[in-house]
Homo-oligomer: A and B are copies of this chain.
Amino acid sequence: MSLDLLPHCIAALDIGGTKIAASIADASGPLIRLVEPTRTSGTPETVARQGLALVDACCARLGRDPATVGALGVSSCGPFELRDGAAGIVPPNLCGGLPNGDDLPNDWTFLPLESVLRERFATVKIANDCVAALHGERAFGSAPPNSLYVTWSTGIGFGLCVDGRILHGKAGNAGHAGHMLMTESTDALCGCGNRGDLEAMIGGRNFGKHLGKPLPDIFGDARRGDPAALEVVQQAARWFGRGLYNLVAILDTEAIFIGGSVWQHNQDLLAPIVRHEIDSRFPALTRGVSVQGTTLGELVTDIGAFALVMPAGWMADWQVRRPWESTRSATAPNAEPSAS
């Protein structure tokens, strides 16, 4: 009867600064994914409860009893903070009570996750979204023992794997390399309060802001040869490459996997410059380092969240069948389109 102990299905939550997604999978593969804008008003428990409701909505769509969901894997924006031994998050993009949160309609300074989610699920595993993505790349992609995952979108975050182990740190915050200081210039302000860190300079919110255009337009102008747009794009690629080089020097990394909308839509312009920033430095540290897009596509963080709580037997089977490549997707009634 031990087979009865296996969950009938598992759930994944992907909690981001702008969107929150819930997914359900069974042994056959992912079954459904619903996505909504992340709520920014209410009590600090609002976001975790929105996640639970979204899991329930997935179950309702599937006609499944929510009690058959045996475990929850969570990939979340960070950073994490432990309160009374339970993990929550302090994300500058959601917490209006932080020093730079004046534009947010709340006074939150801490969002509890683990304490709320454990009311419903006995098994809850929570990781930073980029750490979860790297779990996905390690489990189902081709990430070698010394590799890193980086997302370049509104924010810039990392998952770090060294000697075959994904780094966690004292509170689960290893990988916040987007908050690495890159310049003593004080122009660029990050949500964390830093000036001159990587995210402040080239995160999607700040990058090219002085041109007064949406980022896709800036990349479009750069492709058409507009000198101002081209200079902004090339400078951003140089900073990104310098940041990746720094991590290669610090961690002796072998392979870099990149996700996020900025990279995915523009790697034709960005990749050659990023490569040059790495390859032009001390060969003893940089020789042979590979740079490539995520092998799991836009679902990398969801797949990573599933990987956190997936039975070993499913994992071996999914590695062969790669069922997420044919996932049905759906959108909640109140949701924005899931494509970014």
Which B residues are CB-close (under 8 A) to A163? 165, 167-169
Docked CA distance A312–B246 (Å): 36
**Minimum Cβ distance to chain B for residue A124 (Å):** 20
Q: Interface on A for B, CB 8 Å cutoff? A: 78-81, 90, 145-146, 158, 160, 162-163, 165, 167-177, 179-184, 192-194, 242, 245-247, 249-254, 281-282, 284-285
Known: A247-B250, A285-B79. A162 touches B169 (CB 8 A): yes
**Residue of B at shortest CB range from A247?**
B250
Which B residues are CB-close (under 8 A) to A165? 163, 165
B175, B176, B250: the one contacting A174 at CB < 8 Å is: B250
B80, B184, B246, B253: the one contacting A169 at CB < 8 Å is: B253
Top 5 nearest A-B pairs (CB, nearest first) are A169-B252, A173-B252, A192-B282, A79-B284, A174-B252
Which B residues are CB-close (under 8 A) to A253? 169-170
- 8 A-B contacts (beta carbon < 8 Å): A145-B170, A160-B250, A163-B167, A177-B250, A180-B246, A181-B246, A183-B183, A192-B281
Known: A192-B282, A247-B250, A249-B180. A162 touches B168 (CB 8 A): yes
**Minimum Cβ distance to chain B for residue A145 (Å):** 8
Known: A165-B165, A167-B162. A90 touches B174 (CB 8 A): no
Q: Assess whether B194 is in contact with A169, with CB atoms less than 8 Å apart.
A: no
Which B residues are CB-close (under 8 A) to A184? 183
With a 10 A CB-CB cut-off, give which of A80, A145, A176 has the most chain B CB atoms.
A176
**Residue of B at shortest CB range from A176?**
B249
Docked CA distance A285–B191 (Å): 13
**Residue of B at shortest CB range from A171?**
B252
Q: Assess whether B251 is in contact with A174, with CB atoms less than 8 Å apart.
A: yes
Docked CA distance A176–B80 (Å): 27
**Minimum Cβ distance to chain B for residue A72 (Å):** 23
Q: Assess whether A179 is in contact with B79, with CB atoms less than 8 Å apart.
A: no
Q: Assess whether B252 is in contact with A282, with CB atoms less than 8 Å apart.
A: no
Q: Assess whether A252 is in contact with B170, with CB atoms less than 8 Å apart.
A: yes
Docked CA distance A194–B169 (Å): 29
Q: Assess whether A251 is in contact with B169, with CB atoms less than 8 Å apart.
A: yes
Docked CA distance A174–B160 (Å): 12
Known: A162-B168, A162-B169, A168-B162. A282 touches B251 (CB 8 A): no
Known: A162-B168, A169-B146, A169-B162. A179 touches B285 (CB 8 A): yes
**Residue of B at shortest CB range from A193?**
B282
Q: Assess whether A173 is in contact with B285, with CB atoms less than 8 Å apart.
A: yes
Q: Assess whether A176 is in contact with B252, with CB atoms less than 8 Å apart.
A: yes
**Minimum Cβ distance to chain B for residue A182 (Å):** 7
**Minimum Cβ distance to chain B for residue A70 (Å):** 27
Which B residues are CB-close (under 8 A) to A170? 145-146, 252-254
**Minimum Cβ distance to chain B for residue A148 (Å):** 10
Which B residues are CB-close (under 8 A) to A158? 250
